[in-house]
Structure 1
Amino acid sequence: MNVLPFARALVCLGAIAACSAQAQESVTLKVHHFLPAGSAAHQQFIQPWCDKIARESGNRLKCQIYPSMQLGGTPGQLFDQVKDGVADVVWTLTGYTAGRFPLTEVFELPFMMQSPEATSKALWDYTQKHAAREYAAVHPIAFHVHGDGVFHMRDKPVRTMADLKGVKLRAPTRQTTRLLAALGATPVAMPVPQVSEALGKGVIDGAVVPYEVVPSVKIQEIVKYHSETDPSEPALYTSTFMFVMNKAKYEGLPVDLRKVIDANSGQALSGQIGKVFLAADAAGKKLIGGNPVNVIPKSEIEAWKKAAVPVHEGWISEVNGKGAHGQQLLQAARELIQQHAAALR
């Protein structure tokens, strides 16, 4: 009896069985982030994304979400956690690892953001074309920004640049730190989870965060005043966020499950997250109750823009020193923001 054809048949059958088993494999993704489970980010973006990939995969892709840094570490370590496989997916600010994503920081420069949805779409396009190497160690799912940054002050509102002189203000990123210093304030860098305690103990006099953050850290219970910039102007600042996956985890998924991740990634998702954050701003603002809110007028903001010019120039000089062309990248980011903003009108 010639056993060779029989042996080959067994090998083929085994391969088919292995492929079939892989196709039916169920995968649970460890999703890690820094805000509480009650935050808008968790409830309106991360959990819905997890629910959607579960539905579209026939429940073969599942998430185990770990909010509030439940897998350990600090917010600044989230990128390394996903890169190294401690977590499978993370959501975090690029600015929490200061200086690690310098090309992306162009979106955090003062007075860049026109709308969270448009700017988030622009950010996705920009990273794919101009800053992909900053994320080569992971698999990007989405990039986005939050809504307008707002001053939340303990003892006095902000009406003019003079009101910021010497005031200790929480800053989220390097570029916002530089902006606040240029405006005369004393910036104190810290992630969002530390803001409540710092305000309560008087370590800082105020914080710049979007209204979306208010419910997560109960800012409205600690501060008395909220100062916005003229809504007809670009935002004072915004922060950039990444939603990224461990590269080996993504590449090790069966082809059909990778397609589910791909269908729930990219420019459209980035813009949708921006919309979620804009809606969350409105909900957060309702919680401030009777606290006074003032709008810093356009005439005053013009002086702030002039003061912020060195911040833009500093970023251009820094990325030029890294071999990039800062002015061209700044122009590219602005054009993408304008292009997506025009498409939404």
Structure 2
Amino acid sequence: MKKLRHLLALGGLLAAAAATTLPAAAQEPVTLKVHYHLPPTSFAGTLFIQPWCERIARESQQRMKCQIYPSMQLGGTPPQLFDQVRDGVADVVWTLPGYTAGRFPSMEAFELPFMMQSPEATSKALWDYAQLHSQGEFKDVKPLAFHVHGPGVFHMAGKPVRTMADLRGLKLRAPTRLTNKFIALLGATPVSMPVPQVGDALAKGVIDGAVVPYEVVPSVKLEELAKYHSETDSHEAAFYTSTFIFAMNKARYESLPADLRKVIDNNSGQAFSGQIGKAFVQADAEGKKLTAKNTTNVIAASELATWKKLGDRLATDWVKEMGGKGLDGAKLLEDARALVKKHQDAAAR
């Protein structure tokens, strides 16, 4: 019996050694389940997620590929995506920390009003900021990228937005806790909901409009549901943006062979975050084309000066609130602004 156990153990060691020495072509391909909330035809899918999957397949010599599940095809709701990747329901997800209000407080610094003008520069800044201040919040997953989208736009069913007065009494969809607070300061009633619910809510009159970037337009058919599109002056910082995370299940990442982990590492990080931000600029341009038959106006810089004072008030309140959570809100905001400026200045050189 002792000899038999010895032979079985030896056999197991030999099998393991043989597995590690198999040529790459003979190893079982790795399939990553990629889950997100928008349709496969969304710009996020076509300009960012699908290209990422194609790159990791190519750079791994087809030893690693994606099985993509758009539109929440693996089940659940958009706010559950983070837990799905943490728990292994999905291997990779794309989602918004802001969909679970209060869970990722440090990230909210970038969701304060008038923080972003360049999605590419701000996405790089967000990655750097997360390495400084947010690692504890994301310790249960493997972050691949942090990024923001392009400038928020008012998409209105009944009338355009030119001044704060135009917002009084209206119900507006907003994506995050701080954007909801800012919408309320502007005089409207904020209604929090994930993007996939916006089209139905507009069609049924549950909301009078929505604040989203142009890239969302085709995903919820805003070119049909909204007659008016009100942008903020392009020379000013956007009145809002949202933060996103592209993340991988930590155990899944750690289980990969070293060369496949390197492929993932080569397609994640600060530069990749900036690439996603840049892709969203292209997505905005494409989305805006679909609204050409509707009415578009620009909210003047002179009007936005009043809005900025309200934004400053919200930032002051947020700093105090973070202090109550044991966080140095002033430091978080200072670092966020400094990193955004650093990357914007670098892009301008």
Q: CA deviation at 1:15?
A: 4.1
- Which position in structure 2 is the counterpart of 1:188? 191
Given residue 19 of structure 2, which amino acid in structure 1 is its aligned partner? A
Listed one character per residue, the Cα deviations across residues 122-172 of structure 1 (whole Å, up to 9, x for unaligned) are 000000111111100100000100000000011111011111111100000
The answer as to whether partners of 1:114 and 1:337 remain within 8 angstroms in 2 is no
- Which position in structure 2 is the counterpart of 1:134? 137
Listed one character per residue, the Cα deviations across residues 38-71 of structure 1 (whole Å, up to 9, x for unaligned) are 0001111001100100111111111000000000
SS at match of 2:34: strand
2:102 pairs with 99, 102, 105, which one? 99
2:218 pairs with 208, 215, 219, which one? 215
Given residue 179 of structure 1, which amino acid in structure 2 is its aligned partner? F
TM-score by length of 2: 0.95
2:41 pairs with 38, 58, 68, which one? 38
Q: CA deviation at 1:308?
A: 2.0
Give the Cα separation in 2 of the matches to 1:73 and 1:121.
30
Q: CA deviation at 1:174?
A: 0.3
Given residue 18 of structure 2, which amino acid in structure 1 is its aligned partner? A
Q: CA deviation at 1:317?
A: 1.5
SS at match of 2:137: helix
The answer as to whether partners of 1:183 and 1:308 remain within 8 angstroms in 2 is no
1:1-345 matches, cutoff 5 A: 13-21=14-22, 24-345=27-348
Give the Cα separation in 2 of the matches to 1:134 and 1:253.
24
SS at match of 2:21: helix
The answer as to whether partners of 1:110 and 1:176 remain within 8 angstroms in 2 is yes
The answer as to whether partners of 1:22 and 1:254 remain within 8 angstroms in 2 is no
Q: CA deviation at 1:210?
A: 0.3
The answer as to whether partners of 1:78 and 1:90 remain within 8 angstroms in 2 is yes
SS at match of 2:244: strand
Q: CA deviation at 1:326?
A: 0.5
TM-score by length of 1: 0.96
Give the Cα separation in 1 of the matches to 2:286 and 2:214.
8
Given residue 17 of structure 2, which amino acid in structure 1 is its aligned partner? I
Give the Cα separation in 2 of the matches to 1:332 and 1:114.
17
Identical amino acids, percent of aligned pairs: 67
SS at match of 2:144: strand
After alignment, is 13-22 or 165-174 more displaced? 13-22
Q: Which runs of 5+ in 2 are unaligned?
A: none
Give the Cα separation in 1 of the matches to 2:262 and 2:336.
29
Q: CA deviation at 1:14?
A: 3.9
Given residue 66 of structure 1, which amino acid in structure 2 is its aligned partner? Y
Q: CA deviation at 1:321?
A: 1.5
SS at match of 1:103: helix
The answer as to whether partners of 1:140 and 1:242 remain within 8 angstroms in 2 is yes
Given residue 257 of structure 1, which amino acid in structure 2 is its aligned partner? L
Give the RMSD, CA atoms, in angstroms.
1.7
* Superposed structure 1 runs of 4+ greater than 6 Å apart: 6-12
Q: 1:292 to 1:250 in 2, by over 3 A?
A: same
Q: CA deviation at 1:301?
A: 0.3
Given residue 80 of structure 1, which amino acid in structure 2 is its aligned partner? D
Listed one character per residue, the Cα deviations across residues 60-117 of structure 1 (whole Å, up to 9, x for unaligned) are 1110000000000000000000001100000011111111111011100000002000
Aligned length: 341
Q: CA deviation at 1:22?
A: 9.2
Q: CA deviation at 1:239?
A: 0.3
Given residue 317 of structure 1, which amino acid in structure 2 is its aligned partner? K
SS at match of 2:344: helix
After alignment, is 189-198 or 14-23 more displaced? 14-23
Given residue 33 of structure 1, which amino acid in structure 2 is its aligned partner? Y
Q: CA deviation at 1:319?
A: 1.5
Give the Cα separation in 2 of the matches to 1:143 and 1:10.
45
Give the Cα separation in 2 of the matches to 1:172 and 1:12.
53
Q: CA deviation at 1:290?
A: 2.1
